[in-house]
Chains A and B, each alone.
Chain A
Amino acid sequence: MVATGLALLGAVAGAAIGAPFLAPVHPEQLSLAESLEPPGQGHPFGTDYYGRDVLSRVLFGARVSLCISLAAQLVALIVGVALGAVAGYFGGWVDALIMRSVDVFLALPDLLIAIGIAAALGPGVQSVLVALGLVGWPGLCRLVRGEVLSLRERDFVQAARAIGAGDWWIVTRHILPHLAAPLLVATSLGLGSRIMQEASLSFLGLGVQPPVASWGSMVHYGLRWLSRAPWLVVFPGLAIAVAVLGFNLLGDGLRDILDPRLRE
């Protein structure tokens, strides 16, 4: 499972990194003479209305989609881990405040929050980052808080306190390192969701703006030609599917390996 996931993600990452070398032509190069050509010689994935090469755009779209997803997950991780650790470690009203906000976020559908935030901030890369970061943190926060809650009662934490370690030292040296495994799994699975959500926002026109293309926005612009030129939607859609499948397989596989309770 991990191997398949890694292979799929390797292909996606390879496409993103190698896009300038792999792409037959520049993704934004117009060629009106070749408008809406079906896949075939010269254009393996066909062309769009303006004659742009779909393969090139999918390859470069991988960069945009992956970068946005990774950055959004990083935002979610920083916020989620920090707030989760604070809530779990200190408890009391701080915990109550943070966890009730988490409940509010988790009670609303992810996409609704993301759409609301992206719409409020106006379309663009920054608002997608903020929106996806805010969608991602509550789950991580709850995960981290639960782990911290049990870790802080462990004897070695008490022992560290007894040699004069302060709260910051205990949390960073003794508690957070224990979270590496669950966070690795959550991040891998989370990245799958982020790809999907980024595609959804871009599909709704709230994500990256033309002429830059992400997979979601390609589906968005391809939709109006769907009956005449389905390849405009099929190939970026496939790319989304491969990337999400890769992250999910990797995450599930890592969980099986890293969680001793699931081992036979």
Chain B
Amino acid sequence: MALLEVGDLRVEFRTARGRVRAVDGVSFQLDRGEALAVVGESGSGKTALALAILRLLPEPPARVTGGTVLLEGRDLLELYPEEMLPVRGRRIAMVFQEPATALNPVLTIGEQVAEAVRLHRTRRAVRPLVLEALAQAGIPDPERRLGQYPHQLSGGLRQRVVVAMALACGPEILIADEPTTALDVTVQARLLDLLTFLRARLGLALLLITHDLGVVARTADRVAVMYAGKLVETSPVRPLFAQPAHPYSLGLLEASRLATTPQGDLATVAGSPPDLTDPPPGCPFEPRCPRAGRRCREEPLPSLLLGGGRAVACHRPLVGP
């Protein structure tokens, strides 16, 4: 049994213009110690997916309208709200995008990490565990940091504190939502190394949400490409980079490699994502897809298994089954 198994998850946001299907039938598995990256552009539903797993979506306007989130076979969506408290942090922890605002400005670093320990592990002898978590997160001289406030730390250190808070709960799964977006490039690389190290050392399963394929290549075992609320391709990392099966994956790869068109322009994926209040009946990528045909416009997406642990949702994939 997989550690975490998401099945046909659907999330809607009610807006003034109608219902937005932010997550539209997403399924994937995450095994113990595995690193799965979910990539996609802004608004593709990556964060909504992460928040839905932890049941942290603001309701209303958001609502989970279907599917299952099985943690070792137990459906988190069926739990009472109080039953989620010991799951959050202790089983599944989350690291947020913006370290500058994810820390409470009026509490010291030590107090905030201690909070995570107190909530899940022990109320006495908290300090050694706090120091251990800070050290695990690669914070030099943790003793000195205990009494400091978030504004006294650099962005990279703050993100490490956020990671330390997550680790202090002793989780099995770490969801990292764009953990490096707010950091500069050298600090990014060190944080990714830290996540990789923690995976090996603590056996953490990692669900990494990013729009950066460089991050994926460096950190993940498997990758799931998300577009307009759907997973359009899931694959181990190497085959995807070598030979993407979905035209959108190819587009993303070319854009991130800074590939150029024959005219010398930077390669981009032309057009913009569809209006999710009124999604097209066929493939959501069809209007932007260079390979699109009549079937793509009219028929719902198939899900093709390609072998080697790959799956693609496309009528005309670049790699045949």
Give the B-binding residues of A (Cβ under 8 A). 154-156, 158-166, 169, 173-174, 177-178
**Chain A min CB distance to B159 (Å):** 12
Task: Kindly list chain B residues whose C-beta atoms are within 8 Å of the C-beta of A177.
Answer: 106-107
Task: Kindly list chain B residues whose C-beta atoms are within 8 Å of the C-beta of A163.
Answer: 88-89, 93-94, 115-116, 119-120, 165-166, 169
Q: Is B191 an interface residue (CB 8 A)?
A: no
Interface residues on chain B, number (Cβ under 8 Å): 29
Check B101 against A162 for contact (C-beta < 8 Å). Answer: no
Q: Is B132 an interface residue (CB 8 A)?
A: no
Task: Kindly list chain A residues whose C-beta atoms are within 8 Å of the C-beta of B106.
Answer: 177-178
Bound Cα distance from A174 to B116, whole angstroms: 13
Check A162 against B54 for contact (C-beta < 8 Å). Answer: yes
Task: Kindly list chain B residues whose C-beta atoms are within 8 Å of the C-beta of A159.
Answer: 94, 96, 102-103, 162, 165
Task: Kindly list chain B residues whose C-beta atoms are within 8 Å of the C-beta of A155.
Answer: 96, 98, 101-102
Task: Kindly list chain A residues whose C-beta atoms are within 8 Å of the C-beta of B129.
Answer: none
Partner of B103, one of A156, A165, A166: A156
For this complex, 9 residue pairs linking A to B, each with C-beta atoms less than 8 Å apart, are A155-B98, A156-B103, A159-B103, A160-B104, A162-B56, A164-B89, A164-B120, A165-B85, A177-B106
**Chain B min CB distance to A64 (Å):** 37
**Chain A min CB distance to B196 (Å):** 22
Nearest A residue (CB) for B120: A164
Q: Is B90 an interface residue (CB 8 A)?
A: yes
Check B101 against A156 for contact (C-beta < 8 Å). Answer: yes
Task: Kindly list chain A residues whose C-beta atoms are within 8 Å of the C-beta of B87.
Answer: 164
Check A162 against B96 for contact (C-beta < 8 Å). Answer: yes
Task: Kindly list chain B residues whose C-beta atoms are within 8 Å of the C-beta of A160.
Answer: 104, 115
Give the A-binding residues of B (Cβ under 8 A). 54, 56, 82, 84-90, 93-94, 96, 98, 101-107, 115-116, 119-120, 162, 165-166, 169
Please report whether the interface of chain A is mostly helix, strand, loop or mixed according to DSSP. Answer: helix
Bound Cα distance from A173 to B114, whole angstroms: 12
Check A158 against B169 for contact (C-beta < 8 Å). Answer: no
**Chain A min CB distance to B230 (Å):** 25
Bound Cα distance from A161 to B119, whole angstroms: 11
Task: Kindly list chain A residues whose C-beta atoms are within 8 Å of the C-beta of B101.
Answer: 154-156
Bound Cα distance from A85 to B256, whole angstroms: 47
Bound Cα distance from A164 to B81, whole angstroms: 11
Bound Cα distance from A160 to B94, whole angstroms: 10
**Chain B min CB distance to A264 (Å):** 21
Check A158 against B104 for contact (C-beta < 8 Å). Answer: no
Task: Kindly list chain B residues whose C-beta atoms are within 8 Å of the C-beta of A164.
Answer: 84-90, 119-120, 169
Bound Cα distance from A131 to B102, whole angstroms: 42
**Extra pairs beyond A162-B56, A166-B85 (19, CB < 8 Å):** A155-B96, A155-B98, A156-B102, A158-B56, A159-B103, A159-B162, A161-B88, A162-B88, A163-B115, A163-B116, A163-B119, A163-B120, A163-B165, A164-B88, A164-B90, A164-B120, A164-B169, A169-B119, A178-B106
**Chain A min CB distance to B307 (Å):** 37
Task: Kindly list chain A residues whose C-beta atoms are within 8 Å of the C-beta of B84.
Answer: 164
Bound Cα distance from A163 to B120, whole angstroms: 9
Greatest chain B CB density within 10 A among A154, A160, A173 is at: A160
Check A162 against B103 for contact (C-beta < 8 Å). Answer: no
Greatest chain B CB density within 10 A among A156, A164, A169 is at: A164
**Chain B min CB distance to A109 (Å):** 37
Bound Cα distance from A195 to B202, whole angstroms: 62
In order of increasing CB-CB distance, the 10 nearest A-B pairs are A163-B89, A164-B89, A155-B101, A164-B88, A162-B94, A156-B104, A159-B102, A155-B102, A164-B85, A163-B116
Nearest A residue (CB) for B171: A163
Bound Cα distance from A162 to B89, whole angstroms: 6
Task: Kindly list chain A residues whose C-beta atoms are within 8 Å of the C-beta of B88.
Answer: 161-164
Bound Cα distance from A177 to B104, whole angstroms: 10
**Chain A min CB distance to B59 (Å):** 11
